Amino acid sequence: MSTEPGLWALDVVCLRHCTRYTVLMTRPPRRIIEEVIFDDLGPLSARELLAMSRDGWESLRAGITDHRHGKTGLVARCIACHGKVYITTAQGRPLFSHYQGSDPRCPWYTGRNMHPNDARAAQYLGKQESETHRRMCELIAELCALDERCEGVAVDEYLPPTENATGRYPDVLASWRDFGQFAVEYQMSHTFQTEVSQRCIHYEREGIPLLWVLSSFDPARVPQPVSDVVHRHRGNAFVLDRAAIAWSAPTEVVHELG
């Protein structure tokens, strides 16, 4: 990429003016996507994204992910390679990132190379996490069953579709007297946003209310996946932590602390 000592060439495609130009820089290119263009909303720079309110950029983020999963949503593209991008976070601040499989020749490309040790570590953590997740779902079901309004509850059982092509396995599916069925998804801090979006779309189509229950909530330190769920619940966080479980069991009513 270096053209002459101390200068780096950066090829940029400007979609607003349909031109390709080369920028000479005195520093190596920073590997962040500096500007994107939304199909319907127009361009947005990384700087503008940073200046947006959390609610603003989370709406964009949710729109992009929704589109990825077949809903109308939003499409944003890197202005350098025209590849589709999404909004991720680093230290709680939003930034654009290419979807996997983007053009490695893009000057703002950041490849993902996982060290074998890291892959093993991720697999191990995933296994630990799924066991905890399963246990928590069973606990939610047990707490539901204690409530006299509960007419039935199932954990991780196949729910055949009525509107979608395929069904899903809701974490917990409860039938409530005078209310009907609702699904509960239990989110630990590492559930990915793609999953959040997919599940929301699925249950919305099926007409089944979906309640996200979080493993913990610390307003001072909110991981992005948690914040996505809170955003989709209009700013509410439902938490089933130790205090809520202790409170629910003796009174035989399921409470979620907001």
**78 touching Zn ion, by CB under 5 A:** yes
**80 touching Zn ion, by CB under 5 A:** yes
**44 touching Zn ion, by CB under 5 A:** no
**Binding window for Zn ion (CB under 5 A); candidates: 80-88, 206-214, 216-224, 248-256:** 80-88
**36 touching Zn ion, by CB under 5 A:** no
CA distance 2 to 50: 29
**Binding window for Zn ion (CB under 5 A); candidates: 69-77, 98-106, 202-210, 230-238:** 98-106
Contacting Zn ion (CB under 5 A), which of 44, 62, 76, 106? 106
- According to DSSP, the β-strands at 2-4 and 7-14 are antiparallel
CB closer to Zn ion out of 62 and 80: 80
CB closer to Zn ion out of 43 and 83: 83
Report the nearest approach of Zn ion to the CB of residue 67 (Å): 18
Q: Site map for Zn ion, 108-147, x if CB under 5 A?
A: x---------------------------------------
**76 touching Zn ion, by CB under 5 A:** no
**Binding window for Zn ion (CB under 5 A); candidates: 77-85, 185-193, 213-221, 231-239:** 77-85
Residue of 49, 76, 58, 86 whose CA lies nearest to 226? 58
CB closer to Zn ion out of 61 and 98: 98
Report the nearest approach of Zn ion to the CB of residue 225 (Å): 24
CB closer to Zn ion out of 96 and 203: 96
**37 touching Zn ion, by CB under 5 A:** no
- State the amino acid at position 16 in one-letter form: R
CA distance 176 to 137: 17
CB atoms under 10 Å from CB of 43, counted, come to 15
Report the nearest approach of Zn ion to the CB of residue 72 (Å): 24
**Binding window for Zn ion (CB under 5 A); candidates: 17-25, 64-72, 76-84, 213-221:** 76-84
Binding site for Zn ion (CB under 5 A): 78, 80-81, 83, 106, 108
